[in-house]
Amino acid sequence: MPTKHDGPTSATSSNQTPDSASLRDSAKSRLYVLRRAVAEDLEQLNDLEREVFPTLWPPTNFAREIKKTGQAVLVSSVQSAGAQSPPGGRSVSLVERVVGGIKTLATPGITDRQIGDGVAGWAIVWFVAGEAHIASIGVAESDRRRGVGELLVLGAIEAAAANDCDELTLEVRESNDAAQALYRKYGFEIVGERKGYYVDDNEDALIMTTPDIREPDYAAKLAELAADHSKRWVEAGIRFARD
């Protein structure tokens, strides 16, 4: 299931840590909420894709992607200091979902607060015949190196498991070492390549695939990684939630 898209330009490799002091100054107490994309996000998604992938052609038709069945369009919206957790009580963490059985991400009830929030990143995940494919993923420049790319990867894995997929695949630029490091952290391995895959500069793409994400060992490792992800960023004043 090939696409034109690169890996997350925001990818933080597993051995990188946030600079807490600088992030407190720039990000304050940000809350990034992972949720399904809705029509109210379209303008921001279109603008953000042009920022992240300025040479991409044709651009993604997000309006069509959101309406399609058999896939998920996830966004990470950013809320400023003092933001509350999503409505409906305590947010259920990915760790709890993994331990208790992963459930499908529900389309959220949209509030004025959510509509007004900025979209920090997105991921499009296709589900076909027991396999999930990360077709597109990107993060705003202003929100990079804050764990947002990793949050989207976690969400993509969660959505794949919830839709009875055994594995995830993706393509990533051969030169994108940071994205490859992030993917390897989550069990992706290089299984092939696509020559001249990226039309803007004819760069090759590496094909990466996870092991069986429904195996207990992988689910346990995923829970560890999700917990570490949240803990690693809390000192920088950054929180994560799922709607």
DSSP per-residue string spanning 133-178: EEEEEEE-GGGTTSSHHHHHHHHHHHHHHHTT-SEEEEEEETT-HH
Active site residues per annotation: 171, 183
Asked whether residue 46 is domain-assigned, the answer is: yes
Cis ω on the peptide bond leading into residue 58 (within 30° of 0)? yes
pLDDT tens-digit readout, 128-172: 999 999 999 999 999 999 999 999 999 999 999 999 999 999 999
Within a domain: 14 = no
**Structural domain of 179:** 20-242
Evaluate whether 186 touches 157 at the Cβ level (below 8 Å).
Answer: yes
Helix (H) or strand (E) holding 181: helix 177-185
For residue 4, tell me if it sits in a domain: no
CATH number of the domain residue 228 falls in: 3.40.630.30
- Over residues 1-45, the pLDDT tens digits come to 334 455 554 333 334 445 444 443 454 578 999 999 999 999 999
Model's pTM, two decimal places?
0.80
Tally of domains in the chain: 1
User: Is residue 202 domain-resident?
Assistant: yes
